Amino acid sequence: MFVVISYDITDNKRRTKIHNILKSYGQWVQYSIFECDLTDTQYAKLRHRLSKFLKDDSDSIRFYFLGQCCQGKIERIGGEKPPDNTIFFA
């Protein structure tokens, strides 16, 4: 499954931990946004790992699931770097 994950975390230390976890599962595309191509098992593990770092009501992580028909319609303009397709699972 292709998932776009965005996060808004108030604490710098927790935000860094979440960013590092997400880096091991997908491609960092903007400051708080990752694109991940995951199996159901990988998604479940990732969601569980991330949920440990949510501490208050102001923190949030959102998961947007895109089907294959939508993946081909992703458009990027301006300042993009080539994607780093290296994925390391922790």
Annotated binding site for Mg(2+): 8
Residue 79 gets the label, from left (phi > 0), alpha (psi -120 to 50) or beta, of: left
- Looking at residue 28, the DSSP 8-state letter turns out to be E
* Residues of the binding site: 8
Report yes or no: 1 and 43 within 8 Å, Cβ to Cβ.
yes
